[in-house]
Structure formats: C-alpha cells, structure tokens
C-alpha cells in the first residue's frame, strides 16, 4: 500500500509538472503550445512575446483595436506558427526562421498555390474556362447535403463529384491589397456571374479566384468548409450566350500551368479523379430508387431520409465527420497514386467598403 502511494506521489508529481494543455484557446497566448483548439483557427505571431489563435486572416502592422495597451501598439509579423517543427507551411506561405523560431509568412510576390477543389456535376463535360464554382471537401459535402440531396432527381442532375488540382496566382493588384490571394466569392449560375459586385471586382483586380467560408449554423462539416469561384470567359453571359467576340474581350482567368498572375491568367486546373454519388451514398440505382413511393434521400424538415439514413442529422458533428471521412476515403482508395490532401490556403477573400465585415483583431 505504502509502496504504491509513494510510487504515485513520484509519478503523479512528475506528470503534473510536465503537464501542458494540448491546445490553445482562441485569443490566448499560443507562443509555446501552437496547436489551436479551434481547428479553423491558426496561431499568428505578433512578436517574440505574443502570438495568439485567431480565425480571421492576420493582417501585418498595428492591430489598433486590441484592448491590450502593448499589443495595440506593436507591429504584428503575422507569421503563422506551426504546431510541430516538422509541419509544412500551407499553400501561399513560405518558411521563415526569424529568431530561430520556425514560422510561415506570405512571400513578397504573389505565390503559386496548389490545392484541391471539388465540384459536383452531371455527366456532361464541364467547360473549365467559362466560370465555375467549386469547394474544398467539407464545403462540397455541405453543398450536397444542404442543396442537392433533398431533390429527386438531384439538383442539376448531379451524379458525380470531380476533384481538381488547382493552381492559382493572385494578380499584383490583388496581392497589393494586404497580400491577399483570393477575392470576393462570386456565384456562377450557368457560367454567368450573378453577383452585383462582379464587374467591380474584375475591373479592379482582374479575373481572380474568390473564396468564402461556410457558416456552421447550417451544417457541421469542418473544420472549415469553403467555396471557391473561378471566373471565366464572358462572365456576364450564360453558357449558350457566349460567343467569340466576348471570349476575346473578356478572356477570364483560366490558363495553362503555371498561372502568371496576369489579369487573364490566375488559375490552371488538372483533373485529379472523381467519385459517383452512388459510391458516396451507397444508393446504386438512384434513378429508379428515388421514384419509388416513400423513398426520399433526405428531407430537410425531418432531417432524415426514408429508405436510407445516409444524410440523417445535418447538424450532427459526428455524423458529418463520418460522411466527410467516407468522401475522402473513397478518393484515397480509388486514387492511391495521388495525395489525399494538399493543404488548405487561407480564405482571405477581399471585400469592398460597405461589404467589409468588421475587422476582428486580438482581444
């Protein structure tokens, strides 16, 4: 008895002394424990004395709104500190070893960023140069769940999800604006840009990729669902209205690898596998299946399907995580020759005055 108590005293004491939180909460000091508890946040450095987990992209310079009298007068380096020494910088950042502490910074020139985008579509060949929307994996699952699964036939006749390896480079006009790599997310319907800011955006920055983050109020795919826009030829006309004249006058941003960052060459796209909705949902004869009485893939009101439970529970983080893992695993299993993940760039889409959400800095 005594022996084991003494044993515990030693062991427990040693454990207690070595104890460290395994992650840092948002707005807390992450200088030493750099893993953020909120997986959609990252640890950004002010200087050698302070770094904090924040969700919004960090802007270098003075964070004047910070209530702390030191932090609101000190320039932020905004180096992203990585949890483990061996971790790689995300797309768009380069390694930096200031003061012997490894961090990731935005380079001075617009960088090439290579990462995966996913797009849900029917069987038709997709013209990639004419303006499309796409998503990261959680963003795609969010879209399928919230907008596609509840209809028979599925919205836009969607039958498959294509994965693209996309390489982007911001124009110098965009990168001059706080070193941003994305613009405002622009909605393309039948390849026509329907956002009222579209012309303003393109005139100011060129045909730049856009990005937006999905709210967690609708579905819990995460940590961060993102939607992307890749503006193409004749952005103001629909597929069938596009003609040679406008293709020449309004060329869009699609071009051969590597994109140069000219106003009409901001992204290139490579097919990198696809999966079918059947593979994902396990419903193998969907056209017949969804027409059977009482067969419903997903009903938003009950938050359930009938004769399938694949989509049950849109807000359930565990079920959403399971579906997302299944989605990724099917790609990984079909295409072992390609990495299943290429990292996530920061969604730093720019806004115009008036659209701009209030800047949240440390606090």
Interacting residue ranges for ligand NAG, rule: CB under 6 A: 29, 31-32, 49-50, 61, 64, 67, 69, 72-73, 75, 237, 241, 243, 245-246
Cβ closest to ligand NAG, residue 68 vs residue 95: 68
Strands (E), the chain: 42-47, 50-54, 61-62, 75-76, 80-81, 94-96, 103-105, 113-121, 132-135, 160-168, 183-184, 188-189, 192-193, 210-213, 226-230, 267-276, 296-299, 304-306
Q: In the complex, what is the shortest distance from the CB of residue 194 to ligand NAG, in angstroms, rounded to a whole number? A: 15
| Spatial separation of the C-alpha atoms in residues 183 and 205, rounded to whole Å | 8
Q: In the complex, what is the shortest distance from the CB of residue 191 to ligand NAG, in angstroms, rounded to a whole number? A: 12
Long-range CB contacts for residues 18-26, cutoff 8 Å, separation at least 24? 24/52, 24/53, 25/53, 26/52, 26/53, 26/54, 26/55
Cβ closest to ligand NAG, residue 65 vs residue 300: 65
Cβ closest to ligand NAG, residue 4 vs residue 245: 245
Q: In the complex, what is the shortest distance from the CB of residue 33 to ligand NAG, in angstroms, rounded to a whole number? A: 8
Cβ closest to ligand NAG, residue 26 vs residue 276: 26
Write down the residue that tokens 């012309």 correspond to. 199
Cβ closest to ligand NAG, residue 32 vs residue 292: 32
Q: In the complex, what is the shortest distance from the CB of residue 70 to ligand NAG, in angstroms, rounded to a whole number? A: 8
Write down the residue that tokens 């193998």 correspond to. 284
Q: In the complex, what is the shortest distance from the CB of residue 66 to ligand NAG, in angstroms, rounded to a whole number? A: 7
Token pair recorded at residue 202? 């393109």
Q: In the complex, what is the shortest distance from the CB of residue 207 to ligand NAG, in angstroms, rounded to a whole number? A: 16
Cβ closest to ligand NAG, residue 246 vs residue 321: 246
What pairing do the DSSP bridges indicate for beta strands 75-76 and 50-54?
Answer: unpaired
The closest of 141, 210, 198 to 174, measured between CA atoms, is 210
């Amino acid at each position: 008895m005594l022996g084991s108590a003494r044993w515990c005293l030693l062991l427990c004491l040693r454990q207690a002394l070595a104890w460290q939180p395994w992650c840092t909460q948002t707005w807390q000091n992450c200088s030493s424990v750099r893993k953020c508890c909120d997986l959609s946040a990252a640890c950004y450095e002010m200087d050698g004395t302070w770094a904090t987990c924040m969700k919004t992209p960090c802007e270098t310079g003075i964070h004047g709104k910070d209530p702390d009298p030191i932090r609101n007068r000190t320039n932020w380096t905004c180096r992203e500190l990585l949890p483990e020494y061996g971790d790689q910088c995300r797309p768009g950042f380069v390694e930096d070893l200031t003061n012997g502490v490894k961090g990731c910074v935005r380079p001075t020139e617009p960088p090439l960023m290579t990462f995966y985008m996913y797009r849900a579509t029917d069987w038709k060949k997709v013209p990639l140069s004419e303006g499309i929307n796409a998503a990261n994996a959680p963003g795609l699952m969010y879209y399928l769940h919230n907008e596609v699964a509840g209809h028979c036939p599925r919205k836009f006749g969607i039958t498959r999800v294509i994965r693209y390896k996309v390489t982007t480079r911001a124009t110098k006009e965009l990168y001059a604006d706080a070193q941003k790599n994305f613009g405002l997310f622009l909605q393309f319907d039948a390849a026509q840009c329907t956002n009222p800011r579209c012309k303003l955006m393109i005139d100011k920055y060129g045909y730049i990729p856009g990005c937006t983050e999905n709210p967690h109020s609708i579905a819990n795919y995460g940590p961060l669902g993102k939607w992307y826009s890749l503006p193409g030829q004749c952005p103001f006309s629909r597929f069938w209205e596009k003609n040679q004249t406008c293709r020449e006058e309004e060329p869009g941003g699609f071009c051969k690898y590597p994109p140069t960052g000219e106003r009409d060459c901001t992204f290139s796209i490579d097919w990198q596998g696809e999966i079918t909705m059947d593979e994902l949902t396990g419903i193998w004869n969907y056209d017949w299946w969804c027409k059977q009485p009482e067969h419903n893939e997903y009903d938003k009101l009950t938050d359930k399907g009938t004769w399938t439970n694949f989509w049950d529970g849109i807000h359930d983080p565990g079920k959403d995580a399971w579906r997302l893992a299944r989605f990724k695993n099917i790609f990984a299993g079909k295409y072992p020759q390609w990495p299943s993940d290429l990292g996530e760039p920061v969604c730093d889409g720019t806004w115009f005055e008036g659209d701009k959400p209030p800047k949240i800095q440390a606090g």
